[in-house]
Amino acid sequence: MPGQPAEAEELMIARDLALARLTDGRVHFQHVTTARGVDLIRAAKAEGLKVTGEATPHHLCLDHSAVASFDTVFKVNPPLRTPADVAAIKVGLLDGTLDAIATDHAPHTRQDKERPFLDAPPGMLGVETAFAIANTELDADIEKLVELLSINPARIAGIDDRHGGPIEVGRPANLALLDLDEQWTITGAALASRSSNTPFEGRSVRGTIRHTIWNGDLVVTNGEATR
């Protein structure tokens, strides 16, 4: 089965950092998955390069042993890595080397995911479970989680004038109300997505998003969409 070795990712990170160094440009790395990749970004930040990076919920808690089952729900791009890589991603998120958690949300139909492993498309659901996975798997307080899931993504994308900012008069009321302690079990059939390709089926997690306010309007109430 063809693979995507860690070295392929690390070489591209090193190349792009060299270009950023040459041009004094800004570079953002999506879906960082390897320990060496985290180390390269950490060194670049210490050097003063304009670099940011992100990781996905699945890469901070799943490793490549899951793929031994050939269940296509675990097929993702970049692929799941070693337990050592998973540990490095967690450290990178906690120490500020990686700036954000990005869901890499990729729904697929049941028919697509039921194809043979080599033929099935990569990707898995991520949006609805991202907060719960981060809250459960990372040894982080709520301030750090908000930074990783809201403040930093908005800043990196250049939309922090309306998202991810402080709650104050004059700013758009784009808010989420969280329950940090609720225990629940992830089931694909119960998720809001029309797809059900979650790699976290049956996983017990802690924390949920109770309500969502968009531009001052309540659009999710008790976890159910109202608009």
**Is 104 in the active site?**
yes
What is the token pair recorded at 58?
A: 């699945």
C-alpha torsion sign, points 136, 183, 102, 194? positive
Q: Please say whether the beta carbons of 149 and 180 come within 8 A.
A: no
What is the token pair recorded at 29?
A: 């790395």
Q: Considering 16, 39, 104, 217, which one is annotated as catalytic?
A: 104
Rounded CA separation 43/49 (Å):
9
Q: Please say whether the beta carbons of 131 and 146 come within 8 A.
A: no
Rounded CA separation 159/174 (Å):
12
The amino acid sitting at 172 is: P
Rounded CA separation 60/87 (Å):
7
Active site residues: 104
